[in-house]
Amino acid sequence: GENVEQHPSTLSVQEGDSAVIKCTYSDSASNYFPWYKQELGKGPQLIIDIRSNVGEKKDQRIAVTLNKTAKHFSLHITETQPEDSAVYFCAATGANSKLTFGKGITLSVRP
Amino acid sequence: NAGVTQTPKFRILKIGQSMTLQCTQDMNHNYMYWYRQDPGMGLKLIYYSVGAGITDKGEVPNGYNVSRSTTEDFPLRLELAAPSQTSVYFCASTINTGYGYTFGSGTRLTIV
């Protein structure tokens, strides 16, 4: 089945700097790659997603890039703000049509 | 729209007790899922359903049961609670595969 890995497990950036979170996946048939943000005590919330026929997608300060050859995709957050501090999960839909999630990365934005 | 609603938000259960975690969605989504989240381990799929009357096991189904009698409701049943089932449980739904999931706010369950 699909295996999704996120590294590192924590990331700390200065407010205003950019943050990049990377994920790799194993199933070359995967075709849908969402990113979720989870704030303390809440459920994960979809923030952006990308499909395998697209290389990049932007939504204001966030963007996602996909490299199908290398089987990795990344979340880019520009001009980070304290409210961006959260746990971020990447996921991939493999051949079984179910989402497989990475273990999550804790992003801390220092004021 | 309320989205995905989970009850209760918190529960403490004694070893061997049983309980049902409730999940309901008002988006007419066919696909529904139950995940458990343990610290540093991400989200593990327990059970899922592709429509009313159809359920299937996920990655970690042991100790749990589900039913899907209506499109809206997808309850998760713990029959004999064990300490290993202490976790945060999330219910999610989606309109179809290849689309983002909408998650509930979770149930924090502690088995003592």
Please state, in angstroms and as integers, the Cα–Cα distance from residue A30 to each residue in A1, A23, A45, B98, following that order: 10, 13, 21, 10
B48 touches chain A (CB under 8 A): yes
From B112, B111, B78, B107, select the one nearest B4 (Cα to Cα): B107
| pLDDT-derived band at A22, boundaries 50, 70, 90 | very high
A25 close to A92: Cβ distance less than 8 angstroms:
yes
- The set of residues, in sequence order, having a beta carbon less than 8 Å from that of B92 and lying 6+ positions away, is A43, B4, B32, B33, B34, B35, B101, B102, B103, B104
**Average of pLDDT values for A14-41?**
95
Residue of B nearest to A31 (CA): B98
Q: How far does Cα B41 stand from its chain's mean position? A: 17
B41 near A CB under 8 A: yes
pLDDT truncated to tens, each residue of chain B (112 aa)? 689 999 999 999 999 999 999 999 999 999 999 999 998 888 999 999 999 999 999 999 999 999 999 999 999 999 999 999 999 999 999 998 888 999 999 999 999 9
Tell whether B96 is within 8 A of chain A (Cβ): no
User: Radius of gyration (Cα) for chain B, nearest Å?
Assistant: 13
